[in-house]
Structure formats: C-alpha cells, structure tokens
Amino acid sequence: MFDIVGWIRQAMRVMNVATRPRQKEFERIIKITGIGMVAVGLIGVILSFLVNLV
C-alpha cells in the first residue's frame, strides 16, 4: 500500500534541501528550453512538409 506519511517526509526533506536558481541559472534554463522548443517545432514542420510531398 502507498505510504503517505513516508512520502510527505520525503517531500519535506526535498523542499528543505532545494534552493531557488540564481538569475544566470534561470536565464540559461529559459534559453535551453526555448531552443529545444524551437528545434522540436522545426522538426515537426519539416516532417509535415515531407509527408505532404509524398
């Protein structure tokens, strides 16, 4: 069975250890995520064009 008390203890431990990212880290995360989203979008558009040509 699911141990809810143990899960809550684990979650509290993680929250106590976790810290907020600094400004530069946050900007880097945003840039990497944006590049990934654009890359996936371009791949989708290219595949869509190729499928429509065939």
Instruction: For 8-43, write each residue's pLDDT tens digit.
Output: 999 999 999 998 999 999 999 999 999 999 999 999
User: Can you read off the two tokens belonging to residue 24?
Assistant: 């530069």
Enter the pTM of the model. 0.63
- CB within 8 Å of 29: residues ≥ 6 apart: 21
CA angle 17, 23, 28 (to 5 degrees): 95
pLDDT at 1 over 80: no
Confidence (pLDDT) at 54: 84
Q: Distance between CA atoms of 1 and 16, rounded to whole angstroms?
A: 26
In single-letter form, the type of residue at position 35 comes to: I
User: Can you read off the two tokens belonging to residue 12?
Assistant: 């509290």
54 or 10: whose pLDDT is higher?
10
